[in-house]
Amino acid sequence: MRFYGLKTCDTCRKALKTLPEAEFIDVRADGVPEAVLQAALEQFGDALMNTRSTTWRGLDATEREKPLAELLKAHPTLMKRPLIVTESGMHLGWTPATQQALGVR
């Protein structure tokens, strides 16, 4: 299980406590591999973008109009977190549905 998130994100910290076996990848320091990012974009589309983040609020109108993949490569902290990749699929966010799918609820 791979866990893409931020070590400073409260939601990511909560999720990591519940998933101690997960391999943590800090998107700010390490980024998201191209293959994982493309698969996540195909599965989640616009839901992958966190428009409530301070990074998003700091972008000007021109930046916000760029394609989603380009924005996420340039600013990985714009990705909604956590993105959890397992053998059975991908999960976005730490929602009750994600927790149930991972068998922790």
Where in the sequence numbering do the catalytic residues fall? 9
How much helix, strand and coil, in percent to the nearest 5, is found in the chain?
Answer: 50, 15, 30
User: Would you give the DSSP letter of residue 45?
Assistant: G
Report whether the peptide linkage leading into residue 20 is cis, meaning its omega lies within 30 degrees of zero: no
Q: What is the DSSP string of 54-100?
A: HHHHHS-HHHHTS-HHHHHHH-GGGB-S-EEEETTEEEESS-HHHHH
